[in-house]
Amino acid sequence: MRIKFPVVAFFLEITIIILFGIFVKYDISDRGRNFPKESWLYPLFQDVHVMIFVGFGFLMTFLKKYGFSSVGINLLIAALGLQWGILLQGFWHMKYNEIHIGIESMITADFSVATVLISFGAVLGKTSPVQVLIMTILEITVFACNEHLVVNVLEVSILSDCWWYFPCYNNLKKNIFTGTLFLWLFWPSFNSAIAAAGEAQERAIMNTYFSLAACTMTVFASSILIEQKGKLDMVHIQNATLAGGVAVGSCADLNILPFGAMLIGSIAGIISVLGFKYLTPLFASKLNIQDTCGIHNLHGIPGILGGIASIIAAALQVNNNLSPGMQAAALACSITIALIGGAITGLILRLPFLGQPSDQNCYDDTVYWEVRLNYTGDSTELQNLQKAYSRGNIPSNR
């Protein structure tokens, strides 16, 4: 680790800086307009940015001994992913061998990072930092080829090695919803940020808002209904409440009317709860697929539901320019690329020199982090620590 990770990280960063130096320029097409694009796109970008770093980061902090890694590795993935995403997407839209970037590029770069973070949820606690760097590069490359977010999360099922892990909810009860709240709040921005400005964007905001609200209602109701003791399961509330945002994604900007969005959200909430209850144990016991965060239930199935909803919406002619056949083809294409891309990524990540952690080292911060001594405030101890530190001996709590 001590040599391998720095070598890979520095190599990637130097490569990226050189490629940026050769290709990337500021986009100046929007200059001089009365109502500049950045003035209204930048707040949307910031909402998406908060989702990526705070929302996804904290959604994965439920593992008692893996909090540092969840938030810290999330930051590492995002930092690498957004640079690589800018480059990859830029290569597809080059003009005169130059990549012109603006706020819109930053939004789409954050989108490609989201893909990787969703996958990271499935392998959380079971991957080394080097594997994470490789995974980021590979998945963003696949994503740039597909550019469909809907079902990309299917891709990660294959690569788990550790035993399936029972999520351990710890004493920090009040914090496990932090990530959920920030995702819930800003999902309307996420679904509308790349919609066409004006009417379509406003519809995307409202449809997502209503889909999430309806989804939350059905999740609370079905979580209590399904539990033997009639209690709320916090895994459902933490995750399935967001399924409405995923499911409405592919038709958020269409003219599906608020009640259509609420129907989609309601159904997504119910099937997501059912997935957590019945599908996750089945995957773990029958197929030996371990999905730490249950991303199949939050992103996979609701994503497919969204694809089906957009086919129905096209068939009902809610907007003029949509063909149900094209929607179905897009869905099929996304699933295919996700499965193939996921299989290849999984195979590459299993390469032995990438430092896959052994079973005992899974879900443990202390494998990768220097966790400091828990000093309690005694002043003798303080002076001893100071002496130790000034001699260069940094104490640790291991």
Of 29, 93, 97, 174, the one binding a second copy (CB under 8 A) is 174
Other Cβ atoms closer than 10 A to 271: 21
Question: Is residue 189 part of the contact set for a second copy (CB under 8 A)?
Answer: yes
Closest listed residue to residue 165, CA positions, set 135, 131, 121:
121
Pick the closer one to a second copy by CB: 185 or 344. 185
Q: Which of residues 355-394 bind a second copy (CB under 8 A)?
A: 359-360, 363-365, 368-377, 379, 382-383, 385-386, 389-390, 392
The answer to whether residues 372 and 397 touch, using CB atoms and an 8 Å cutoff, is yes
Pick the closer one to a second copy by CB: 181 or 339. 181
Pick the closer one to a second copy by CB: 101 or 151. 101
Other Cβ atoms closer than 10 A to 56: 25
Instruction: Quote the crossing angle between the two packed helices 301-315 and 324-349, to the nearest 10°.
Output: 160
**Which range touches a second copy (CB under 8 A), out of 149-157, 225-233, 300-308, 339-347?**
225-233
Question: Is residue 281 part of the contact set for a second copy (CB under 8 A)?
Answer: yes
The letter for the amino acid at 34 is: N
The answer to whether residues 141 and 88 touch, using CB atoms and an 8 Å cutoff, is yes
Q: Provide, rounded to whole angstroms, the least separation between the CB of residue 335 and a second copy.
A: 27
Pick the closer one to a second copy by CB: 42 or 274. 42
Distance of CA 141 to the CA centre of its chain: 16
Closest listed residue to residue 116, CA positions, set 146, 88, 74, 86:
74
Pick the closer one to a second copy by CB: 168 or 326. 168
Question: Is residue 210 part of the contact set for a second copy (CB under 8 A)?
Answer: yes
The neighbouring-strand residues paired with 100 are 25
Pairing of β 24-26 and β 99-101: parallel
Question: Is residue 196 part of the contact set for a second copy (CB under 8 A)?
Answer: no
Contact pattern from residue 75 through residue 94 relative to a second copy, giving x for each residue in contact according to CB under 8 A and a dash for the rest: xx-xxx-xx-----------
Q: Could you tell me the two tokens for 210?
A: 């209503």
Q: Which of residues 150-169 bind a second copy (CB under 8 A)?
A: 163-169
Gap between the Cα atoms of 263 and 20, Å rounded: 45
Of 15, 98, 285, 326, the one binding a second copy (CB under 8 A) is 285
Question: Is residue 221 part of the contact set for a second copy (CB under 8 A)?
Answer: yes
Of 65, 315, 318, 344, the one binding a second copy (CB under 8 A) is 65
Question: Is residue 116 part of the contact set for a second copy (CB under 8 A)?
Answer: no
DSSP codes joined into one string, 13-57: HHHHHHHHHHHEEE--TTTT-SS-HHHHHHHHHHHHHHIIIIIHH
The letter for the amino acid at 157 is: S
Q: Provide, rounded to whole angstroms, the least separation between the CB of residue 304 and a second copy.
A: 22
Of 104, 141, 147, 217, the one binding a second copy (CB under 8 A) is 217
Q: Which of residues 28-57 bind a second copy (CB under 8 A)?
A: 28, 31-32, 34-36, 38-40, 42-44, 46-47, 49-50, 53-54, 57
Question: Is residue 248 part of the contact set for a second copy (CB under 8 A)?
Answer: no
Gap between the Cα atoms of 109 and 103, Å rounded: 10
Question: Is residue 120 part of the contact set for a second copy (CB under 8 A)?
Answer: no
Q: Provide, rounded to whole angstroms, the least separation between the CB of residue 356 and a second copy.
A: 16
Question: Which residue has tokens 């009640």?
Answer: 259
Q: Which of residues 303-362 bind a second copy (CB under 8 A)?
A: 359-360
Pick the closer one to a second copy by CB: 321 or 358. 358
Which contacts of 226-233 are long-range, i.e. CB under 8 A and separated by 24 or more positions?
A: 226/273, 226/274, 226/277, 233/276
Closest listed residue to residue 332, CA positions, set 140, 148, 122:
148
Question: Is residue 170 part of the contact set for a second copy (CB under 8 A)?
Answer: yes
The answer to whether residues 29 and 100 touch, using CB atoms and an 8 Å cutoff, is yes
Pick the closer one to a second copy by CB: 203 or 299. 203
Other Cβ atoms closer than 10 A to 297: 26
Closest listed residue to residue 47, CA positions, set 238, 278, 263, 204:
204
Q: Under rule CB under 8 A, how many of the chain's residues touch a second copy?
A: 144
Question: Is residue 61 part of the contact set for a second copy (CB under 8 A)?
Answer: yes
Question: Is residue 111 part of the contact set for a second copy (CB under 8 A)?
Answer: no
